[in-house]
Amino acid sequence: MATDPQFLNLSVPPPNHHKLFDPTTQRDLRSQNTILSSLSKTNPRLTLTRFKTMVQEGKNIDEYTLSIVLKAAASLKLLSYGKQIQTLVTKSGFSQFMLLVTTLLDLHVKCSDLAAACQIFEEMPERDVVSWTSLIVGHVHQSKHNMALKLFQKMNKGNARGNSYTYSGLLSACSGLMALKPGKQVHAQIIVLGLSDNLTLSNGILGMYGTCRSMYDACRVFNGMPFRGLISWNAMISACVQCECGEEALKLLCLMGSQGIKPDNFSCAICARVCASMASMTHGYQIHALVLKLGFQSDLVIGNSLVDMYAKCGCIELAKLIFEEIPDKDEILWTTMINAYGRHGHVREVLHMFKEMIGVGMKPDGITYMALLSACSHGGLVNQAKRLLELDLRNYSDYTVLVSYIKAKAGKWNEIFQTRERTKRKQMKKEPGCSWIEIRHRVDVFLSSDRSHPQAAEMLQALYQLSLSLTEAG
């Protein structure tokens, strides 16, 4: 990892150990360490500069000095500098100090050098909860969730017992794996150790159950919390969304406000996304009004959800108005607006938006080109859907389906057969067709070939009778 040149090639003489027993030297060293420690909390880079000056002036140092400097290097993720200090630790005979070794472990973890961190960990004469937790959390941050859980199992076989930081990392690992059973085991240990009143852990437990789509457990945790902060409410709303309980998420937003908890941009963004997925204009208006009231109308994530929601509800003009009012647009918002026009069959506007997007320096991704392909195919613009086919979008199953459709427009039936054969070989799957309708403030969703609706039989019979009537009418 790159580091600041002024810290490279640090040449440090070994400390004069006999001076450590001089009371005057000890007082001076203690004051220096106090200054360094205080400085490291506000300006870690200046801490390193001051340490270099101390060394050049021949000042005395001890294990605490080096620990402070290593923490400063870790906070700046200066691995090269940290390795120089590591060499100094070894040469100076300070390797036996547990504090220094643990700090070195943390340095490598924070600099994403897990291999070196594991080596330091294996060579440690003893391992406390801090070293175990550092290594576990390091693996979680690099999405090595299985290894994090295995390390915890090893930790449990020893004398070390986890703390709130350990269990917070483990909950993240269970969420990353969507592993409900291990998550429940971690939850049980938190209760046994008396840590269930820790708000951060409670929020982590709630988030884990939401990610694992266990609505029952999420509700039980949420209802049992003695105090619910904004993060707790957002975690529960997010759990509802992940468990596909959109209406419950909106109810929670209302309840949240009635209990004096002011929603933030995350609360509004996720509820706007719920309205978009439900295509509910009634709820969408209310969320939009709340967004305006709280002053979040320039938020990109919220704006993206509102544009999508209005487009799905058939209000393309309102979608465009919101799009235009957002000052700093990103690629996602541009793609959402392009997709909105394409959904309504406004092909010329789609192409115009795409050109404008390129003109302002945005870089389209695969999803953007998918929206363009879809719009061109529906609009019959085969010559345009051809130029786009030159792009490599083979990782998208929907792309293959659209290619077939566009080639059908051009009458290239042999190529359609070849495309579909490739799709089968790659085992691609197309998302089922979906439609919805809002009647009396209730949204009913229908999937292709789905017969789960409670009134499916009556609706199919009505469609059959309608088909007969149309046939008789000619």
Largest CA distance in the chain: 109
Q: CA 114 → CA 8, 98, 131, 234, distances in Å?
A: 23, 19, 13, 33
Q: How many residues does the chain have?
A: 474
β partners of residue 436? 445
Output the CA torsion sign for 120, 122, 123, 124.
positive
What integer pLDDT is reported at residue 215 of this predicted model?
A: 95
Confidence of residue 394 (pLDDT cuts 50, 70, 90): very low
Q: Residue 262: is its pLDDT beyond 60?
A: yes
Residue showing tokens 């596909």: 244
Nearest to 202 by CA among 216, 217, 215: 217
- Render pLDDT for 215-234 as a digit per residue (tens, 0 to 9): 999 999 999 998 899 999 99
Distance CA 473, CA 458 (A): 23
Alpha-carbon span 335 to 351, nearest angstrom: 12
Domain boundaries, the chain: 1-123, 435-474
Q: Which two tokens stand for residue 388?
A: 């786009």
Provide CB contacts within 8 A for 370, sequence distance 6+: 393, 396, 398, 399, 402
Q: How many CB atoms lie within 10 A of CB 306?
A: 29
> Bridge partners of 422?
none
210 — pLDDT class (breaks 50, 70, 90): very high
Contact, 148 vs 173, CB < 8 A? yes
Q: How confident is the model at residue 432 (pLDDT cuts 50, 70, 90)?
A: low
- Strands 442-447 and 434-439 turn out to be antiparallel
Match 């509700």 to its residue by tokens: 219
Q: Is 70 exceeded by the pLDDT of residue 381? A: no
Instruction: Give the number of other Cβ atoms within 10 Å of residue 432's Cβ.
Output: 10
> Can you give the pLDDT at residue 335?
92
Cβ count within 10 A of residue 413: 10
List C-alpha distances in Å: 70 to 64, 112, 131: 10, 15, 15
* pLDDT for residue 70: 92
For residue 453, the model assigns a pLDDT of 67
Residue 167 near residue 189 (C-beta atoms within 8 A) = yes
Q: Is 263 left (phi over 0), alpha (psi -120 to 50) or beta?
A: beta
CB 234 within 8 A of CB 267: yes
The predicted structure's pLDDT at residue 435: 58
C-alpha 58/C-alpha 69 separation (Å) is: 16
pLDDT averaged over every residue in the chain: 81
How would residue 61 be classed by pLDDT, with cut points 50, 70 and 90? confident
Q: Which residues contact 291 (CB under 8 A, 6 or more apart)?
A: 268, 272, 297, 299, 302, 306
Q: Are 137 and 165 in contact (CB under 8 A)?
A: yes
Which of 111-115, 400-404, 427-431 is least confident? 427-431
In this predicted structure, the answer to whether residue 452 has a pLDDT above a threshold of 80 is no
The 10s digit of each residue's pLDDT in 4-27 is: 334 434 444 444 433 433 444 555
CB-based contact 459:466 (threshold 8 Å) = no
Rounded CA separation 187/209 (Å): 10
213 phi-psi bin (left φ>0, alpha ψ -120 to 50, beta other): left
Using DSSP's 3-state secondary structure scheme, residue 259 falls into coil
Q: Which residues contact 451 (CB under 8 A, 6 or more apart)?
A: none
What pLDDT sits at residue 171? 97
How far is residue 12's CA from residue 87's CA, in Å, rounded to a whole number? 10
107 close to 74: Cβ distance less than 8 angstroms: yes
